[in-house]
Structure 1
Amino acid sequence: MSLVNFRDPAVLADPGGRWIRPGALYRSAQPFPAADEATVDQLRAADVRTVVDLRSSAECDPADWAAVEATGVTVVAARVDPASDTVAAAMRTMTGAADLGAFYLLMAEQAPGAVAVAVEAAARPGGVLLHCAAGKDRTGLLTALLLDVLGVPAEEIIADYARTTDALPQIFAGLAERHRTALNDTAARRSVPAPLLAAPAEAMATFLDLVRTRHGGSAAFLAACGVTAATLDAFRAKTAPEAVAC
């Protein structure tokens, strides 16, 4: 099955090609149920050479990307765990879209090493795919940080994030099938905060604003996570509109 919520942010967030060239960075949900020939064909057509898996170890299965790895694509684990004590506590108090945006920043702040690994992988040659479970939260915040570093306007980053809304029914169906016990249980579904079941524009607007006001912007935040200036320069060079894929 082809990847759900698979897209190139450059095509929609920067249609004029002013900040990022198409084909450098992709985003998606995790494979449902695991990567197969359709997934391989999809990634080959996009020249994806690296997959960055943002899920925690508990969410992963060795079979998830086996078919893709067999073709020579590198899968990089950059574990951002939404079940850590601090992050899980914030999740339980979430009531609105602004809380979701603050939750995104907390997840990133609690996983600086994973953020750095993900950005380093994104700077590799060829197309790079970022994904988590739904391709909405962890994928959304990393994509936003990277687009912001390139100077993509906030309104376009927010609009790209919100586009996941259209794919959510298919995403949740895939997650429910994969995690039948947890997500098909009525009590479990009711325990999921409502904002996590949507992709509200306000959440991404809040996240970007908090990154700016608390950390001085995405580049400064990524540097604090351990991303080197050389890595950011490599990412900018790779994604520059005039860059040629190598």
Structure 2
Amino acid sequence: MTLVNFRDPAVLADPEGRRVRRGVLHRSAQPFPSDNGPIVEQLRTAGIRTIVDLRGAAEADDVDWAGARADGVEVVAARIQPTGPALEAAMRAMTTDAELGAFYLLMAESAPGAVRLAVEAAARPGGVLLHCAAGKDRTGLLIGLLLHLLGVPAAEIVADYARTTEALPQIFEGLSERNRNALNDYHAGSLVVPRPLLEAPAGAMTAFLELVDTRYGGAEAFLTHCGVDATTVEAFRTKAAASGVTA
């Protein structure tokens, strides 16, 4: 079994190759249940040399990427914990797609060190894979920021994000097998998941990008706020920008 929701976001977000080099960034869900021969081959074929694991410590397992590590791939833990009083309050109150977008910004703001680590890893040589559990929320916001940094129009970033909708049945099946206890709690009524979190609504990414622009003045300013230095931003642009594009 290969990685679910695996793709190069440049294919949909920049189909004409005007702003993003192909093969630089990839995204996916976590491996279900852990990596194996086909997944290792998938990573090798895509030229992936670094994996950025955005899951919280309680979600990750050392065996998840054992095969990739044995194949020489470095795994960087950039933990964005989807919990805490402010995030839990926002989740309880969430009813709209725009509120999911605001939740994304709150997650990123709550973990500036993880955002910095993820961008630093994305600037390394070779292909980079970013993933969380579903490859939708934390992965979506990081990919969104990186594409925004390269000047990809918001509509194209949103289109790539929304494509995860196609993979949601597989994602939920994999998550249910891995997290059966949590799923039982959900069905018992002790865990309430807001409707937007169960989808990949275009409005959520639209709202997230708008908030980054209005509150911080764009992706670069927000990443600077998170501690990403100018050298890292330039290294990422040099690596990821299509030929002739500098911003």
- TM exceeds 0.5? yes
Q: How many residues align?
A: 243
Q: Which residue of 2 aligns with 1:236?
A: 237
Would you say the 8 A contact 1:116–1:226 is kept in 2?
A: yes
| Aligned positions of 1:62-77 closer than 5 A | 62-77=62-77
Q: Which residue of 2 aligns with 1:53?
A: 53
Would you say the 8 A contact 1:182–1:188 is kept in 2?
A: no
**In the alignment, does 2:159 pair up with 1:155?**
no
**In the alignment, does 2:33 pair up with 1:33?**
yes
| Aligned positions of 1:58-207 closer than 5 A | 58-185=58-185, 186-188=187-189, 191-207=192-208
Q: Deviations over 1:156-205 (max 9, x none)?
A: 00000000000000000000000001113413586111110000000000
2 CA distance for matches of 1:15 and 1:50? Answer: 24
1 CA distance for matches of 2:151 and 2:123? Answer: 16
Q: 1:166 to 1:122 in 2, by over 3 A?
A: same
> What secondary structure sits across from 1:27 in the alignment?
strand
**What is the root-mean-square deviation of aligned Cα atoms in Å?**
1.1
Residue 123 of structure 1 aligns to which amino acid in structure 2?
A
2 CA distance for matches of 1:109 and 1:95? Answer: 21
> What secondary structure sits across from 1:63 in the alignment?
helix
2 CA distance for matches of 1:106 and 1:228? Answer: 21
> What secondary structure sits across from 1:52 in the alignment?
strand
Q: 1:188 to 1:170 in 2, by over 3 A?
A: farther
C-alpha displacement of 1:64: 0.4
Q: Which residue of 2 aligns with 1:215?
A: 216
Residue 243 of structure 2 aligns to which amino acid in structure 1?
E
Residue 204 of structure 2 aligns to which amino acid in structure 1?
A
Residue 124 of structure 2 aligns to which amino acid in structure 1?
R
Gaps in structure 2 of 5+ consecutive residues: none
1 CA distance for matches of 2:34 and 2:221? Answer: 36
2 CA distance for matches of 1:78 and 1:39? Answer: 21
Would you say the 8 A contact 1:9–1:26 is kept in 2?
A: yes
Residue 109 of structure 2 aligns to which amino acid in structure 1?
E
Once structures 1 and 2 are overlaid, which stretch shifts more, 173-182 or 88-97? 88-97
Q: Deviations over 1:191-231 (max 9, x none)?
A: 11111000000000000000000111110000010000000
Q: Deviations over 1:119-156 (max 9, x none)?
A: 00000000000000000000000000000000000000
**In the alignment, does 2:4 pair up with 1:20?**
no
> What secondary structure sits across from 1:20 in the alignment?
coil
C-alpha displacement of 1:241: 1.6
2 CA distance for matches of 1:82 and 1:209? Answer: 21
- Report sequence identity in percent: 67
1 CA distance for matches of 2:190 and 2:15? Answer: 38
Residue 126 of structure 2 aligns to which amino acid in structure 1?
G
Q: Deviations over 1:89-125 (max 9, x none)?
A: 2111111101100000000001000000000000000
2 CA distance for matches of 1:168 and 1:198? Answer: 8
2 CA distance for matches of 1:3 and 1:189? Answer: 30
> What secondary structure sits across from 2:243 in the alignment?
coil
Gaps in structure 1 of 5+ consecutive residues: none
